[in-house]
Amino acid sequence: MKLTIIIPTYNSASCITRCIDSIVCQTMRDFEVLVIDGVSTDNTCELVKSYNDERIKFYSDPDKGIYDAMNKGIAKAQGEWLYFIGSDDWLLNNNVLQSVFSSEIDKYDVVYGDVESDLSDKNRGEWTLYTLEYNRCHQAIFYRKTIFDKIGNYTLKYKIGADHDLNLKWFLNPKIKNVFINQKIAHFSSGGFSKEQGDDVFFDDFYINMIRQHFRVIPIEIKISFLEKAILHTSNIIYKAGLKIQLYIVRIYKKVFC
């Protein structure tokens, strides 16, 4: 099977049919849909099962949130490629999947496009080392299933930023080939849970991890910015002092050599 589409749901009766309708009408047919439900108390289950489509499978069990549901979907998926979409999102037109999979997708491990939404421009388009702080929507990303064996699944430690964390792992891994396609994949409903809440735990780790793990590849302007923010985000006095020394050295280097 070419593609598994994973939809986490919880009390999604008001929007799930729009999402599934946008999938079942696709001109590409080689896919399965896994609806991973967190024991909804509305009629989400009945609406999903009403499609009577053998490609659509419904699972309902208690979970620890959206990313736990997505991890369950990864474990159940039969597709060579995985795609995650929210129950309140939808594919933009009937030919989206056919268009993506008619390209030379098999050369890559991750293929990502864009979404229709009110997101900042920094969350849109091709990802770069200058925009690492701004995530790319998983509603625009197709992941080869085998990469999860290399980078792991979604980290439940991050309630909002687990997809950002996972995306950084493939984007900054030179062994994982990715490509941006200039195509809008889905409508992303940005007014949900992730917009209403932040993830301080993720960003507390983000700047420190960028300095520890990826300092060499980060452009010097971004090094300085990340060092400044890492200093603010760490409570360890000794580590904070070390970061300040490192920041001083980088600023001197920039002044002399750049």
The string of pLDDT tens digits covering residues 216-232 is 999 999 999 999 999 99
Given a contact cutoff of 8 angstroms between Cβ atoms, the answer to whether 70 and 156 are in contact is no
Single out the residue in 197, 212, 244 at which a domain terminates. Answer: 197
Do 100 and 214 lie in one domain? The reply is no
Whether residues 155 and 104 share a domain: the answer is yes
Model pTM score: 0.94
Q: Of 178, 197, 216, which residue sits at a domain end?
A: 197
Judgement on whether residues 173 and 211 belong to the same structural domain of the protein: no
Question: Do 177 and 242 sit in the same domain of this protein?
Answer: no
On whether both 159 and 220 belong to a single domain, the answer is: no
Residue 11: left if φ>0, alpha if ψ -120 to 50, beta else—which one?
Answer: left
One domain for residues 183 and 249 = no
CA dihedral 160, 164, 170, 171 (to 10 degrees): 180
* Residue 240, H or E segment: helix 237-257
Say whether both 66 and 115 belong to one domain. yes
pLDDT of res. 196: 46
Same domain, 141 and 177: yes
State pLDDT tens for residues 18-37: 999 999 999 999 999 999 99
- Give pLDDT tens digits for 144-202: 999 999 999 999 999 999 999 999 999 999 999 999 999 999 999 876 555 445 688 99
Q: For residue 176, what is the enclosing H or E element?
A: none
183 and 237 share a domain?
no
Number of structural domains (the chain) is 2
pLDDT (average), residues 106-118: 95
Task: Please determine, for residue 241, whether its predicted confidence score (pLDDT) is greater than 80.
Answer: yes
Range of the domain at 163: 3-197
Q: What is the mean pLDDT of the chain?
A: 94
**Whether residue 252 is found in the same domain as residue 132:** no
Residue 120 has pLDDT above 90, yes or no: no
Same domain, 159 and 139: yes
